[in-house]
Amino acid sequence: AVVSTQSGHYGREEEAISEVSSIGETVKVYYEEMSRYFVTRGKCASKILKYPHLEDYTGYLLEWDETQFLHIRAIARELKMIYCFMFDIINKNFDKIKHPRSQNNTSLIY
């Protein structure tokens, strides 16, 4: 996209675009981590069902769940901050989003 220098906010617009791109990558990583957690948990649970007399699997699953709980709680806090940041960007630029400039005066909305 072409950025109009008439707005005088080129640096902030570029920074906001960079942040939004970074947020997208961060959320993607969190999604993949959650998928791996459930796959690993499922494999361990199947071992518990297959070998109920081995308590090591049960102990491992308990430790794994506790560790992942703490990690997921940290992710939830980070996502809260991300959504607050995105809300702030949208709120500050709502008029630009709702009424973008004409094609002749192309500008980014961030």
pLDDT in tens, 35-66: 999 999 999 999 999 999 999 999 999 999 99
When pLDDT is averaged across residues 13-23 and rounded to a whole number, the result is: 77
Q: Which amino acid is at 106?
A: T
| The pLDDT value given to residue 7 | 52
Which long-range contacts link 61-70 to residues 24+ away (Cβ below 8 Å)?
64/40, 65/41, 68/37, 68/41
What's the rounded Cα separation, in Å, for the pair 48 and 10? 57
Q: Please state which of the ranges 11-15, 85-89, 100-104 shows the lowest mean pLDDT.
A: 100-104
pLDDT attached to residue 15: 73
pTM to 2 decimal places: 0.62
**In the predicted model, is pLDDT for residue 22 greater than 50?**
yes
Q: How far apart are CA 47 and CA 57, in angstroms?
A: 7
Whether 34 shows a pLDDT value over 60: the answer reads: yes
CA distance 15 to 19: 6
